[in-house]
Structures are given as C-alpha cells and as structure tokens.
Amino acid sequence: MVRQGKRAKNTEQSANGWQGAYAGMITLVMLFFILLYVMSGMDSAQSGLLSQAMGGGKASGDEIIIYAQARPKLEPPGDIPPGGIRGISDVHGFLKSYIEDSRIGNSMEVSQGEDYLFIRFMDDILFQPGSARLVNPDNMAILDYLGYGIRSIEPGINMIAVIGHAAQDPDNPELEMSDINLSVVQANAVLRYLEDKVGVDSGKLVSVGLGKQHPIALSSTSEDAAKNRRIEILISAVNPVADQLSQVYSNH
C-alpha cells in the first residue's frame, strides 16, 4: 500500500510537471507570433533598434520610444496656400485664414516676430470649464491646423513651448486644483495632443505652467478671470534653453 501511494504521488507530480512545461511552451509560442506581427509593421531602422534592445545593444530608451511609436501621417486638415507652407510667415497666414473662416477671433490670436510665432488660445475653446480635459480630446481642429503648420516647417524650428495660465475664479474660490497645478496639467494636455495626435517632434516640445503669475486682465471680475485662463504657444527658430543645457552638460 505504501509503494502504491508513492507511485501514485510520483505519477501526479510527473503529470503536473508536463502540464506546466506545455503551458510555458504555448505562452512562448504566442509571444513569438506577437513579436513577428509587431516587427512586420516596422522598417529596417525600427527592427534594428528592437534587435539591439533585445540583444543588449546600446539603443537608448528614448530611441526605442521614438521609433516604436510611428508618427501620424502628415495630412492637411484643410485648404493649403497655393505656394505651400515653407516658413513661419506661411504658418502665420495659414492660421490667420483658419481663424477668419472659423470666426473664432475672440478665442484665438496669432502674431509673428522675426524668428518666432506666438499663438494665444482662450481657455474656453480648448478645455471644459475649470478642467484640464480637452473639449474634444479626439478631434481638436485648431490644434490639428497648428500641428500641420509646425510639421511643415519642422526642420527650421528648434523649440515649441506650450505655456499654461490659470486664474482664481472669484465666483468659485474653492477649486479642487490650485491655479499653478491646473496650468501645468493643461499645458501638458496640449503638448501630448501635439505629440501623440499630430506627430510634432517631441524633442522640440516643452511645457510650463505659470498659474496666475502673468495676467492679461488685472481686475478681479469673473470676466477678467476668464481672459487670464489661457494657453500660449511659442514656436521659435532658436532654443536658448537647449543651448544653455548643452553648455551645462558639456561641463558636468
């Protein structure tokens, strides 16, 4: 009886070991086919980076993220100027036409300098009231136009700064989020849309939240608070921040 019990126990252990090995093999086969499917959609550069990552090569995490997430195809969101978009002046005219055609002059402003473009969005056209959630997170025509303009002249752009501004609403003094935090989150939401939905080069994007430090309306009324809640985007041919960081990193 004792021998029979041992033999039964050994038989059960063998069965469990066989089942475990089989389950592990099936899992590996599934992972293998998933990997083949993913690699079938990559080009040679992407496949090379993935191979380096799997084989212990020197591909950095940043390189893997950039190549693994394909940039959206650049498609015009509307009518393109006859001469195309080749510089900051063309982007300025492109956006001005959109503002006029859409009749949103009260909610969006665009101005141009020698080597920069400055866009100001009033809070209500991008975000739900008092929220960091975009009005339509899947389709922001305004940001699509802006993103197309940026990508059209991307080689000549070195910095796209997204700047968030907030205000303490006198009619609602106890907001769930502080003004500085809200401005940061809103700026990041716009940055992520430009990066993920439009495909703007993430290496040129930077966001900052300034809270209520730089109001454009100084009274304490609800109307002026609404004016102060805004998103500004500076598109510049130069990047002083990157230049200074390069100097710092070269010395440390």
- Cα 155 from chain centroid? 19
pLDDT in tens, 177-221: 688 889 999 999 999 999 999 999 999 999 999 998 899 888 778
pLDDT (0 to 100) of residue 60: 43
8 A C-beta contact, residue 44 and residue 67: no
The Cα–Cα gap between 108 and 102 comes to: 10
User: How many CA atoms, within 13 angstroms, populate the side-chain half-sphere of residue 239?
Assistant: 16
- List the structure tokens of 204: 């040129």
Phi and psi at 230, nearest 5°, equal -160, 165
- CATH superfamily of the domain spanning 88-247: OmpA-like domain (3.30.1330.60)
Q: Where in the chain is the domain with CATH 3.30.1330.60?
A: 88-247
Confidence check: pLDDT of 32 > 90: no
Q: How many residues does the chain have?
A: 252
pLDDT at 51: 45
Which of the residue ranges 104-108, 156-160, 234-238, 240-244 would you say has the lowest mean pLDDT?
Answer: 240-244
What does the pLDDT read at residue 201? 93
Rounded to two decimals, the pTM is 0.68
Do 205 and 160 form a contact (C-beta atoms < 8 A)? Answer: yes
Q: Quick one: which of 191, 158, 192, 202 has its CA closest to 66?
A: 202
The pLDDT mean for the chain works out to 77
Residue 66: pLDDT over 70: no
